Chain A
């Protein structure tokens, strides 16, 4: 051991635990070459996770596809789980020849409108309940009870009230987003540090000034969090809503494929929904972080 060259010594110093483990498992009589190779492999394996996040993400998905392919080809009936290759080619075919973009557009439009309505109303009501004791006493109890009605629970009544047109979907998305955003907004207003409010009071600020310049900015991170949760709720709501009553859209696609026994098209629809939900969330986060950077950045530095 005393004859090791400097580089080798450095490597072994860094990978000491593995080297010891290698020596222990391989036994005292193992040729030094083996223990050495084992230790080098272990070190290389660990270094793998220092790679940039993008590479690791791609690695994760590649692994997932491999496992999926293995299941579909060797373990499960391909009528239950189609192979990744089939899903990909069906998806491509739907994109080019079968108006997949139209379905995606329809779903996204409904989500967009419902979210916009839900955000505006949710923020207004949330601010009202947070700021005014009268509003809190009168409105909050009703909100707290009603928010237990999930959008899915409201699907039947929405169909009765609005029929099977677009309004029903707007209403359902709005319903889900509204309560989530209202509750988060109220929490945001309440989270304003009393010290900050008092600091502004003793400078002579009016109640309105305190609300606009102190409470609103302090509540903003909570409002953003609420909107992100609203997006998640919207994606979970649109699918059952479209399954039940829609001609176009991803949920409708899912339902039609199910009725026709087209498992590959179902998988395409599910994959699109998953990726779309993730992308929208990332987009909202990016937008929020950049537009409201000064109102959220300081939190991580506290």
Chain B
């Protein structure tokens, strides 16, 4: 988990200590997550699979960054490394200037399968209470925090419902609300809208943007959908297909939100370039020279 001395100090001096540490480490206060030449290998002697190799990335504080790539390109592996669920076999990952070791409530993940991620045996309020209880938030504050988090995601009317009674979109909102209850610095999202129908997905994308603008968290968002990445991200990072995946290109996305993908010429151009890049993955994969 995280630096032990933080536990003893109050919020204000915690922030100050962190700032000083960062300046000492010579790290820009701007960069919250940094991956340097990260490598991840699975398997033992006989069945080695190099999922990631030479993967480098800098995530700026408060930005919305999208990791875009075809299936099997190691996006989830990368996110698991950032979350701390797995350790890299090579290279290093730093969070806030400190080496990243293990999972922490500063980096909360929202998963694609909301039914599996949530606690199905307790209500919406109960799920958020779980997060508050784990964070040792005093009981007296729970009601206010639950109301606040549900209000941000628009689930206030469903306080007493169970996850099985909610639609897919509502369950994802609950996941986001639960994540916010833990007050993280970074939201990691592993294709959260992948299992939703197209209309709900569009709705949820706009919801997520609202949440992000309201709470100012850093968001690392994984998707295989080019349109989704361009709609949501400040920056889009393309990953190539595995093995040995890495981030092959980064594109800043300009234009105010909500973005009109079809009407904005720059974005349409960008989409075209990204599609071409993906096409080269396909042909490289098939062993034929690019057309």
Contacts and interface: CB of A to CB of B under 8 A. Distances in A.
A201 B117 CA distance: 11
Given A294-B121, A295-B121, A302-B115, A200 B164 contact: no
B164 A301 contact: yes
B212 interface: no
A221 to B, nearest CB: 10
B105 interface: yes
Interface of B: 1, 83-85, 103-105, 107-109, 111, 113, 115-122, 130-131, 134-135, 162-164, 175, 178-179, 182, 188
A295 B126 CA distance: 14
A83 to B, nearest CB: 52
Given A202-B104, A202-B105, A204-B182, A195 B111 contact: yes
A217 B118 CA distance: 12
Contacts of B115: 302
Contacts of B1: 204
A203 B113 contact: no
A209 B105 CA distance: 14
Interface in A212-231: 213-214, 217
B84 to A, nearest CB: 8
A191 to B, nearest CB: 11
Contacts of A193: 113, 116-117
18 contacts: A193-B113, A193-B116, A193-B117, A195-B113, A195-B116, A196-B117, A196-B118, A198-B83, A199-B109, A199-B175, A201-B85, A202-B84, A203-B179, A204-B1, A209-B134, A294-B122, A298-B163, A301-B164
Given A195-B111, A298-B164, 4 more contacts: A195-B116, A198-B117, A295-B121, A302-B115
A65 interface: no
B103 A198 contact: yes
Given A198-B103, A199-B109, A204-B104, A298 B162 contact: yes
Contact of A204 (B85, B109, B134): B134
Contact of A196 (B104, B119, B182): B119
A204 B85 CA distance: 12
A199 to B, nearest CB: 4
A173 B127 CA distance: 40
A198 B121 contact: no
Given A298-B164, A301-B164, A202 B109 contact: yes
Interface residues of A, number: 21
A13 to B, nearest CB: 37
Max chain B Cβ within 10 angstroms of own Cβ: one of A198, A199, A214, A301: A199
A274 interface: no
B232 to A, nearest CB: 21
Nearest to B163: A298
B103 A202 contact: yes
* Interface majority SS (helix, strand, loop, mixed), chain A: helix
A200 B134 contact: yes
B95 to A, nearest CB: 13
Nearest to B1: A204
Interface in A182-212: 193, 195-196, 198-205, 209
B119 A217 contact: yes
Nearest to B165: A301
A150 to B, nearest CB: 35
Contacts of B162: 294, 298
A204 B121 contact: no
Contacts of B135: 203-204
A203 B119 contact: no
Interface string A288-302: 000000110110011
Contact of B117 (A199, A204, A295, A301): A199
Nearest to A209: B134
Contacts of B119: 196, 213-214, 217
B107 A298 contact: no
A204 B105 contact: yes
Contacts of B163: 298
A205 B105 CA distance: 9
Contacts of A199: 109, 111, 117-118, 175
A213 B116 contact: no
Nearest to A198: B85
B109 A198 contact: yes
Nearest to B178: A203
A201 B182 CA distance: 12
B103 A213 contact: no
Q: Top 6 closest A-B pairs, CB basis?
A: A204-B105, A298-B120, A301-B164, A195-B116, A193-B116, A201-B103
